[in-house]
Amino acid sequence: MFEDPPAPQEIARRQVEKFNRTWARALTLPFYRRLAADHRLPAVIDRLDELDQWPVLTKDVLREHEGLVWQGMDRSSAYTTSGSTSTPFSFPAGKQDFEPWYAGMWSYRAAAGLAPFDSFGAFHDIHPGRVTNRAGLALNFIRRRAKDLLNNSWMFEPLPKEEAELDRQLARLARTRPEYLVGRTFSLTRLAQHAERTGVLREAGYAPRYTILTSEMITDESVQAVARGFGTTVLSEYGSVELGVIAASPPHATWPMRVLWHKAILRTGPEDSVRVTTIAPRAFPLINYQLGDTIDPTLVGPGGTVLELGPVRGRLVDIIDLPNGDGVQHSYEGWSLAEAVLHEPHVRGIQLVQHEDSTTVLVIAPEVDRTDYLRRASESLRATYPELRTGSVGMAFIDSMIPSKRGKQLLMVPEDNIDLSLMETTPLN
């Protein structure tokens, strides 16, 4: 179903059938019975584009009706999101969720010749969640190591603070020699660039078979840097905590990603925002669910079902508004702005703070010459975005990434999460 999918018309027909079965199951749940009654939703649909008239499901809607969402559900089993598009939320999970989740992920990895117990290195966020005491942290570490042993995996810190830690990570890769790497784009790009500069992996004769990039924003520049630095084939996957993988690269190519159409219906709303409807068995289906990202569909089937897509452009909350020289507000992708100043190998992280009519770029780069870096960042920004109003973008240096409520290190930082009056901010334009 992944390597040799049916024709788009056949996929759309099967998705309509699977949707109607899923919706029948959803109508046994209190939340969806209320939703159907409030919006007078039909019992079946004949075409996927009928979903355009259905209400959009967001985390805020689910949070508003959390009692109904969890009514009759086991609260000990849940998917808890990081809060990158709003605030953290827990979705009901069930035993029936695992098989389609696992099969979906491995349908594309198996197509690339990987097997479930092949060794791999994982570069994901490491954070304690709600655990803050020493005993809890120790228990989490033991659980993590047990999981690594069972999965034949090694967990790596995705954002090491010192260059010496990058050296240790490369030495560990050369020693453990995992079959493939998987994790955040920024983390793996940075490590690959360090590998290219030092030649450590080349000298050790090690190159991972594949490197799988998993964060929302993956650029061609990152793909090329990872391919060069690790001497690897780069794949990408797209998904979320609550959905698992919903799109991924075919073998030996990064783009376009193919949607796991038998698991989820992927469609777009205004500004190419992602809407997902799950059609594989799960305890709590998600119907017309707004994931919070914007995408670039490259193949669309009947009824608007997205079958292939290019790089995910970023989260809706990563879109920033800045004025031009005439004071007219324009929208920009946060990562595009960040990349205009992210051209120094010793930069360890970048975050953005959106204000009413300006943005502050927060940079972690303790080893750079700040005066020289500010000059080059200013030149790059003004060359890339000459239309921006003078003084609309500033830069400040910070010691470490500012975490979200659940410890994730995200691109956008809420304005009330940092006191910029304590920092020296320099205008870039």
Does 86 have pLDDT greater than 50? no
**Is the confidence at residue 406, as pLDDT, over 60?**
no
Higher per-residue pLDDT: 426 or 215: 426
Of 241, 191, 244, 186, nearest to 217 by C-alpha is: 186
Dihedral angle sign, alpha carbons of residues 275, 279, 284, 287: positive
Task: Write down the mean pLDDT value for the chain.
Answer: 87
Residue scoring higher pLDDT (366 or 170): 170
Q: Is residue 391 domain-resident?
A: yes
Domains of the chain: total: 1
Within-domain flag for 201? no
Residue of 151 and 99 predicted with greater confidence: 99
Helical pair 185-198 and 163-176, crossing angle rounded to 10 deg: 80
Predicted local confidence at residue 366, as pLDDT = 85
Range of the domain at 324: 316-427
Q: How confident is the model at residue 134 (pLDDT cuts 50, 70, 90)?
A: low
pLDDT score, position 120: 95
- Pick from 208-212, 221-225, 243-247, 316-320: least confident: 316-320
Query: Which range among 57-61, 319-323, 330-334, 363-367 shows the weakest confidence by mean pLDDT?
Result: 330-334
Q: Mean pLDDT throughout 390-419? A: 82
What is this structure's pTM?
0.76
Which pLDDT tens digit goes with each residue over 6-30?
999 999 999 999 999 999 999 999 9
Indicate whether 95 belongs to any domain: no
Q: Is 125 a domain residue? A: no
In a domain, 4, yes or no: no
More confident residue, 342 or 87: 342
Task: Examine residue 390 and state whether it is found in any structural domain, yes or no.
Answer: yes
Total H helices, total E strands in the chain: 12, 21
Give the best-scoring range by mean pLDDT among 88-102, 223-237, 323-337.
223-237
pLDDT at 186: 76
For residues 157 and 166, give the distance between their C-alpha atoms in angstroms, rounded to a whole number: 10
How far is CA 29 from its chain centroid?
29
Q: Is the pLDDT confidence value at 345 over 50?
A: yes
Q: Residue 82's pLDDT is what?
A: 56
Scored b (16 or more CB within 10 A) or e, 116-150 reads eebebbbbbbeeeeeeeeeeeeeeeeeeeeeeeee
Q: Rounded mean pLDDT of 259-284?
A: 95
Tokens of 155: 């967990």
Whether residue 238 lies inside any domain: the answer is: no
Q: Per residue in 286-302, pLDDT tens?
A: 999 998 788 889 999 99
Examine residue 212 and state whether it is found in any structural domain, yes or no: no
Helix, strand, or coil (residue 258)? strand
The band of 279, judged by pLDDT with boundaries at 50, 70 and 90, is very high
Average pLDDT of the segment spanning 192-203: 95
CA–CA gap between residue 192 and residue 205 (Å, rounded): 15
Pick from 82, 161, 172: nearest CA to 408 = 82
CATH of the domain at 329: 3.30.300.30
